Amino acid sequence: MINLLTFSKRIFSASFIALTLFSINVNAEEETVTAPQAPAWQLKTQSGDTISSRQFDGQGTILHFWATWCPYCKKLQPKLVELEKQYKAQGVKIVAISFNEDDGALPQDELAERGYTFPTAVNGDSVAMLYGVKGTPTTFFINKDNQVIFKYTSSDVSDPRLELAVKEIIK
């Protein structure tokens, strides 16, 4: 039997998740809800190839801002990879943008050493500014219509909002 305090905490927790999951703009006249559009970007990879947001148009995207020196990024990345694998059939992809790096950092090599194959752009400081990123990790969940559904700035891999956000970007 569940006690009243536990029940109240669960209700509050569920309400909090529902209220904080979406970054939205509400137009009071039309009573429509729209999420903001993700800014377009184009950068280079460590190997010099061009990578851009357009490559991920039409699919659910996990856009992960990180740095090789960031222990919190290292903690979060396995969960992001797990979510990508779990929802791969629905088209979910991870793309990373490395920024605020130490001289000589090799972000794609670092990811490979960790066992990850998702692409990362380098020298992403200008794109981090464009997205209003203040620190690492910062992860955006972008839907098929290029709308930012959720911004996550923690490394708590047990946070249920991570999977809820992925479920929203594949709708």
Nearest by Cα to 152 from 45, 55, 80 = 80
Whether 117 maps to a domain, the answer reads yes
From residue 24, alpha-carbon distances to 18, 151, 154, 167, 171 in Å are 12, 11, 20, 17, 16
What pTM does this model have? 0.81
Q: Does residue 25 belong to any structural domain of this protein?
A: no
Q: Domain for residue 12, yes or no?
A: no
48 vs 24, 67, 123, 160, CA distance in Å? 36, 18, 11, 36
26 assigned to some structural domain: no
CA distance 122 to 120: 6
With respect to residue 77, please indicate whether it lies within any of the assigned structural domains.
yes
> What local confidence, expressed as pLDDT, does residue 35 receive?
84
* CATH number of the domain residue 155 falls in: 3.40.30.10
pLDDT in tens for each of the 171 residues of the chain? 444 444 334 433 333 333 344 444 444 455 556 789 999 999 999 999 999 999 999 999 999 999 999 999 999 999 999 999 999 999 999 999 999 999 999 999 999 999 999 999 999 999 999 999 999 999 999 999 999 999 999 999 999 999 999 999 999
- Residue 29 domain flag: no
Residue 83 within any structural domain of the chain: yes
Identify whether 101 is part of a domain.
Answer: yes
Name residue, tokens 């970054």. 23
Task: Give pLDDT, residue 41.
Answer: 98
Structural domain total, the chain: 1
**Domain range holding 79?**
37-169
